[in-house]
């Protein structure tokens, strides 16, 4: 039997912004449960839930204060259990975020750790003395700006935080702490979750000697300070791989579970492949297709061809809760629905497990959020040069005529972009040509063809904006041809095309494809 996740489509839900069941302006687990029918009709194999655990919400759930409980804004633990049961009844898997790299500074572990330099949890976080001049222990930077060290007046040492000062880094060199992390994983596995998405999985360990990172000149000139270093010592340490093997041993005790790692690295493919070698994690994704464009055949081809592992399995996504939506990021503010539909078509034909971010099936553009409405600490800090992550986290639009697009009966935590109303679910449901219905058809098409779910991929040189590749599994051979440009384009096929299996307005005469702007087609291939 095929592993459910291999080649499947997993839908990412950012719970704060998906559906508000109790009209407090914030989405919740009951809201997610109320939309299981929608997800079932979409045709996805499973759902990735971003964090819903207890948290002071300095980084909106990625600062956990209790790994074993649900934050009250999202509901209670029974709500999660009901959501899990309803999803399983509908044939949907549920994977949940696990944020093991760091906790909230309000976590009881950190409160105990900061009290004194001795004690059971004194070494559960990364602490270090100041240099003789009082400055931080080394030159490491926080991703969110400033030093990666903050002074604690109670313990009179610095503590490490790769992100916000309110997110102290755990010390994975401590065996007791590692055991507790495994116990947390077991808690959720026993509850019935189908797997984990591991946040910044290669940031678990840091160098024991706390050596300085060497400098690096970032591409493109000016960048935030974090990008001016080669991160040799604050991430991707070799000990992390051994922990992944231990975690995998635990997970393998539970049938049909999976793990996907987020890899944050300057060498994304190489690092990702390390984490999915035999005995480690099931799959991994990185930021190769989550960066800035422009969209090109080379961008897609380089990412896919950089995955050279024959045994490890990749995952791909074009959008998520951390980056601007792909429609705008790659197509600009004027990108049309055809461009959004092209992105869906390309994504659904790639080799790997596919992650589809909420609203991507509607073709949502990046939302505009005024400065006075920003919530993201990264966005506030770097505004206006970097507008942060709020624009991809605005509420899901369900009904065009409803207040707040049907997300909530009260003003939501982030405003609904006025352009999103016309793209609401109810507007697209009955339109056969809508992005929503095209996405449903493409997911179903992918599910029907093992060449798309499980097959090999081979790219071909093609003129200009044409992206062309073959997917092969057994006797099934599918040619996937897409026009990434805004003008009509033609391309010779590397083999005779037989049936038009699927199209985005494209056509062929057996040997040559003609594609409208942002068009595409998938054809069954005949060997010449």
Tell me which residues are annotated as active site.
199, 262
DSSP 7-74: T-EEEEE-GGGT--SSSSSS--HHHHHHTHHHHHHHT-SEEEEPP-EE---SSTTSS-SEEEEE-TTT
Residues 6+ apart with CB under 8 A from 228: 141, 215, 216, 217, 218
Residues composing the chain? 528
CA–CA separation, 335 vs 363, rounded Å?
10
Output the CA angle 198-200-47, nearest 5 degrees.
Answer: 35
Omega cis (within 30) before 294: yes
Q: How many Å apart are CA 273 and CA 266, to the nearest integer?
A: 14
Q: Are 313 and 295 in contact (CB under 8 A)?
A: no
Integer Cα distance of 79 and 92 in angstroms: 17
Instruction: Give me the residue label for tokens 């996805």.
Output: 44
DSSP class of residue 212 equals P
342 neighbors 484 (Cβ within 8 angstroms): yes
DSSP structure string for 352-390: SEEEEETTGGGTPPPPP--GGG---HHHHHHTTT--TTG
DSSP-derived letter for residue 311 is S
The alpha helices in 164-238, defined as continuous H runs, are: 175-191
Nearest Cα neighbor of 148 from 223, 233, 63 is: 233
Decide if 481 contacts 519 (C-beta within 8 A).
no
Provide the edge-to-edge strand list for the sheet that holds 127-128: 127-128, 157-160, 149-152
């Amino acid at each position: 039997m095929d592993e459910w996740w291999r080649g499947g489509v997993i839908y990412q839900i950012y719970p704060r912004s998906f559906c508000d069941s109790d009209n407090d302006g914030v989405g919740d687990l009951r809201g997610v449960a109320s939309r299981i029918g929608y997800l079932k009709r979409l045709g996805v194999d499973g759902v990735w839930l971003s964090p819903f655990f207890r948290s002071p919400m300095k980084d909106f759930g990625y600062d956990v204060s209790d790994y074993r409980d649900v934050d009250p804004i999202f509901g209670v633990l029974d709500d999660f259990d009901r959501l899990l049961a309803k999803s399983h009844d509908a044939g949907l898997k549920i994977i949940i975020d696990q944020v093991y790299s760091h906790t909230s500074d309000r976590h009881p572990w950190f409160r105990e750790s900061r009290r004194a330099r001795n004690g059971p949890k004194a070494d559960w976080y990364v602490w270090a003395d100041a240099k003789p001049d009082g400055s931080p222990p080394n030159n490491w930077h926080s991703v969110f700006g400033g030093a990666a060290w903050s002074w604690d007046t109670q313990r009179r040492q610095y503590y490490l935080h790769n992100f916000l000062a309110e997110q102290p880094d755990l010390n994975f060199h401590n065996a007791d702490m590692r055991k507790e992390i495994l116990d947390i994983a077991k808690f959720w596995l026993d509850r019935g979750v189908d797997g984990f998405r591991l946040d910044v999985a290669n940031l678990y360990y840091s160098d024991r000697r706390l050596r300085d990172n060497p400098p690096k000149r970032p591409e493109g000139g000016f960048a935030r300070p974090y990008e001016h270093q080669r991160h040799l010592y604050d991430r991707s340490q070799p000990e992390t791989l051994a922990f992944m093997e231990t975690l995998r041993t635990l997970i393998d005790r539970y049938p049909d579970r999976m793990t996907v790692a987020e890899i944050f690295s300057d060498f994304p493919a190489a690092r990702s492949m390390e984490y999915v070698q035999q005995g480690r994690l099931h799959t991994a994704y990185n930021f190769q297709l989550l960066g800035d464009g422009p969209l090109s055949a080379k961008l897609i081809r380089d990412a896919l061809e950089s995955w050279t592992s024959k045994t490890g399995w990749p995952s791909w996504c074009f959008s998520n809760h951390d980056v601007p939506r792909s429609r705008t990021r790659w197509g600009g503010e004027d990108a049309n629905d055809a461009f959004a539909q092209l992105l869906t078509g390309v994504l659904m034909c790639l080799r790997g497990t596919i992650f589809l971010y909420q609203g991507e099936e509607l073709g949502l553009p990046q939302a505009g959020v005024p400065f006075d409405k920003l919530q993201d600490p990264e966005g506030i800090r770097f505004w206006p040069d970097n507008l942060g992550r709020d624009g991809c986290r605005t509420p899901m639009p369900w009904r065009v005529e409803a207040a707040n697009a049907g997300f909530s009966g009260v003003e939501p935590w982030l405003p609904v972009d006025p352009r999103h109303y016309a793209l609401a679910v109810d507007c697209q449901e009955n339109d056969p040509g809508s992005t929503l219905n095209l996405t449903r058809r493409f997911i179903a098409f992918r599910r029907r063809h093992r060449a798309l779910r499980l097959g090999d991929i081979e790219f071909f040189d093609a003129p200009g904006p044409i992206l062309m590749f073959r997917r092969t599994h057994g006797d099934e051979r599918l040619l996937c041809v897409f026009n990434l440009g805004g003008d009509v384009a033609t391309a010779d096929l590397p083999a005779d095309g037989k049936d038009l299996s699927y199209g985005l307005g494209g056509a062929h005469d057996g040997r040559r494809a003609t594609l409208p702007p942002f068009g595409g087609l998938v054809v069954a291939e005949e060997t010449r």
